[in-house]
Amino acid sequence: MTRTPITEAARLVFVRDLTLAWRRWDEVAQPLIFYVVVTTMFPLATTPDLSQLREIGGGVVWVAALLSSLLALEALFRADVEDGTMEQWVLSGQPLGWVLLAKVAAHWVLTGLPLVIMSPIVGTGLGLPVSVWGVLMLSLLLGTGTLSVLGGIGAALTVGVRRGSVLLSLLVLPLAMPMLIFGSRAVSMQMDGDSPAGPLQLLAAIFFMALSLGPIAMSAAIRISVEN
């Protein structure tokens, strides 16, 4: 037997989480259902007039996506900490940051990516024209990716705390505000015929910052959380 290379270790964690999700698909589908339901309710509650809906459409899609991603975050590390898997990961001799990043990547594929894929459909319901689909999806791709990493840090910090979900929202929501502002701004600029490059580049910058520093913060937080 030889020592597992880190890429293979990360792949195992990733595949494991997808396998587990496949066997518990009802839990995974919950954020997506929430996303579709919330965005469908807006035309019913406000106005069916597409020209008015179009004004708020981008913002509504973004708020709904943000809240649905948050919904799934609390459970991110909890099961693994409670059944002792996390202890084994900490002691595996593999860089913990990579292992946790693989887990966050699986979480994003399960909860973030479906939101991105669904966004043109729910956007159409809110009167968003085809010309903004690309910008909407790209901004959500960067935004949900960042939120998964930021949420991973929050979940790692609060996993050892009883009733940590309230604390988690308080921690993550303020950090998510810049993404919400730049994301919905990019969509409305595209709709008004301006170039959305500025806000998109800022979103990308936040994403890469989270991706590069997030694993360090997550592994430090998890090491504290498993001390109990």
Partner 1 sequence: MSFDGASFEARDINAWRGDRHILRDVSFRVDRGDFLKITGPNGVGKTTLLRVICGLLPAETGELHWRGKSIRGARDEFNAELGYLGHLNSLKADLTARENLRFLAGLRQSLTAADIDATLDRVGILSRGDLPARSLSAGQKRRLALARLLLADAALWILDEPVTNLDTAGIQLVESVILDHVQRGGLAIAAAHQRLLDDAPCLRRLELEP
Residue 185 CB, nearest approach to partner 1 (Å)? 42
Q: Which is nearer to partner 1, 21 or 71 (CB)?
A: 21
Q: Which is nearer to partner 1, 94 or 146 (CB)?
A: 94
DSSP 77: T
Backbone phi and psi for residue 212, each to the nearest 5 degrees, phi listed first: -85, -35
The residues binding partner 1 (CB under 8 A) are 1-4, 8-9, 12-13, 15-16, 19-20, 23-24, 83-85, 87-95, 99, 226-227
Residue 24 CB, nearest approach to partner 1 (Å)? 7
Backbone phi and psi for residue 60, each to the nearest 5 degrees, phi listed first: -65, -45
Residue 211 CB, nearest approach to partner 1 (Å)? 22
Distance CA 32, CA 169 (A): 19
Residue 212 CB, nearest approach to partner 1 (Å)? 20
**How many other C-beta atoms lie within 10 A of the C-beta of residue 107?**
25
Q: Which is nearer to partner 1, 18 or 37 (CB)?
A: 18
Q: Which is nearer to partner 1, 107 or 185 (CB)?
A: 107
Distance CA 59, CA 57 (A): 5
Distance CA 89, CA 66 (A): 29
